[in-house]
Amino acid sequence: MVFSSILFLFRFLPIFFICYFAAPKRMKNIILFLGSLIFYAWGEPVYVLLMLFSTLVDYVNGRLIERCRGSRKAKIPLVASVVVNLAVLGFFKYGDFLVHTVNSLTGASVPAPGLPLPIGISFYTFQTMSYTIDVYRGNAKAQRNLLDFGVYVAMFPQLIAGPIVKYRDVAERLHERSVDLQSVSHGAKRFCFGLAKKVLLANGIGMLWADISGRDYRQISMMTAWLGILAFAFQIYFDFSGYSDMAIGLGEIMGFHFPENFNYPYISSSVTEFWRRWHISLGSWFREYVYIPLGGNRKGLPRQLVNIVIVWMLTGIWHGAGWNFLFWGLWFAFLLVMEKMFLGKVLSWFPRIVGILYTAVAVLTGWVLFAVETPSGIFGYLRAMLGLGGFIDRDALYLGGEYYVLLLIALAVSTPIPKMLADRLEKSKTGPGMALWRLGEKVIPAALLLLAIAGIAGDSYNPFLYFRF
C-alpha cells in the first residue's frame, strides 16, 4: 500500500496543485478538503468515514464548549470529545492486543476484532483532541465553519504521519493565507530533500536492518548486531524526518507553516536533549496536554518523577499495541528520571563527546526495544550486542563492506554539517562561493528529485515506518 501511495502521490500532486492554484480564493479550501479525502481514500477508502466522524464530533463539541463557556456545562462536551477520541483510538489500535492479552491470562477464547489499523489515526485524533482542549482553555476560538475545520483535520500533507499540528497554530491561515514565488520555491526544495531522505537513505539503509533483523539473533556477532541497530536508527530517522520535511514543504507551498519535527537528534549529549530534538510535535503535545496538567515540575521532585514515568508510559503505548513499546517507554522514563536526579549533572562534568556517546548507546538500546517485538527476541538481540555470541564474523565484515559508504553518508546528513556548509556558501557575497551556491540551490533539489523518482520506480522496498503508528 505504501509503495502504491508514493506513486499515487506523484500522480496526485500535479493535478491537485493545478486545481488548487487555478481555483478562486473562496474555493481553495473546498479543493484542499476534497483532495485530502481522495488522497486518504487511496489507501483507506472505508476509514474516510471514521475520520469524518471524528471531525464532526469535535466540531460539534468545540461549538458546544464555546456556547457553554463560563459554566460547568462546558466540561461535558470536553469530556465527550476526549472519551470519544480515546475510545475510537483504543478500539482500532489496542482492541486486538487487549483481547489476546486477556485470552492468554485467563485461558478464554474471545475472538479478536481483527480490524486493520486506520492510517494516521494516532495523529489526527491527537490533533482534534488538542482543538477541543484549547477551546475549553480559551487558547483558541471554536471554528464556526465546518469546511475550514475539516481542512484542519484532513489536510493531506501531514494527515497520515504528522507533524502533529495544533489548531491555534493554523487557525488564521485556514481562512486567510497567501503564497508567493519564494515560499513555493522553498517549499518545493524542502519536499525534494525530504523525499530524498526517505527514498535514497531510509530505504537503502533499511535493507541492511531487514537483512539482519530476519536472522537468528543467537547466531549473529556483536558487530553484526550493532550494524543492524545502527541501520534501524538511521532508517527510522530518515524515514520519519523525511516525511515531516515533505509535509512541511507541501504545506508551505499552500501557505501553511507546520511546526518543525526534528532538529538533528543524533547529536544530543543527553537523553533529555534527544527528546527535545526528536518528534518535537509529539513531545510538545504530551508536555502541554498531559505533563503540565499532571503538575509538571511544580509539585516537587518526587511528583515530577512520577509525572515523567506516566508520560513515557503513555508515549510508549501511543506508538503501538505491544509490550515492547511499553518497555521502550519505560526505558526512556528510567533514563530521564536518572538524568533529572543526578546523571545530568554528572554528564556536565565531562566533554560533550562523552554525553553524545552515552546518548547514542542509550538510544540504540531503546531502538532494540522499539524494533524487536518479542521479549525473547529483545533479550537475544541485546545479548548479541554485548558480544555474548562472538565479537565479529564474516557476515559482519561483508555487510560492513557493502554498506559503509551509505552509513557514512547517513551519519554526515544526520548532523548539521551539510547545512552549515550550505549556509556558509549562501553568505558568500562574491566569487566562486556565491556561484556554487546559486548553481547548487537549483541543481541539487532537481537531481535529488530525479534520483528519488528513479529509486521509487526501481525498488519495491518502500516502507513508511510511522504509517503503522
Tens digit of each residue's pLDDT (9 = 90 or more) over 151-179: 999 998 888 777 999 999 898 888 888 88
Pick the catalytic residue from 100, 175, 279, 319.
319
Task: Kindly report, residue by residue over 410-455, the tens digit of the pLDDT.
Answer: 999 999 998 888 777 767 656 666 666 666 777 888 888 888 888 7
Q: pTM to 2 decimals?
A: 0.92
* 356 and 214 assigned to the same domain: yes
* 230 and 317 assigned to the same domain: yes
pLDDT, residue 11, reads 78
Distance CA 75, CA 61 (A): 10
* 31 and 51 assigned to the same domain: yes
pLDDT, residue 346, reads 95
Decide if 245 contacts 452 (C-beta within 8 A): no
Catalytic status, residue 279: no
Q: Which residue has the higher pLDDT, 363 or 41?
A: 363
| Mean pLDDT in residue range 2-8 | 56
Pick from 180, 205, 238: which residue ends a domain?
180
Nine-digit cell at 440? 547548487
Distance CA 195, CA 207 (A): 17
Which amino acid is present at 158? Answer: Q
Distance CA 111, CA 99 (A): 7
Concatenated DSSP letters for 279-325?
SHHHHHHHIIIIIHHHTTTTT-HHHHHHHHHHHHHHHHHHH-SSHHH
pLDDT, residue 311, reads 96
469 lies in some domain: no
- Cβ-based neighbour number of residue 26 at 10 Å: 7
42 lies in some domain: yes
- Cβ-based neighbour number of residue 452 at 10 Å: 23
- pLDDT greater than 80 at residue 5: no
pLDDT, residue 191, reads 93
Average pLDDT, the chain: 89
Domain containing 146 equals 2-180
- pLDDT greater than 80 at residue 122: yes
Pick from 180, 215, 248: which residue ends a domain?
180
Decide if 74 contacts 65 (C-beta within 8 A): yes
Q: How many separate domains does the chain show?
A: 2
Name the percent of the chain lying above pLDDT 70. 93
467 lies in some domain: no
- pLDDT greater than 60 at residue 2: no
Decide if 356 contacts 269 (C-beta within 8 A): yes
pLDDT, residue 1, reads 43
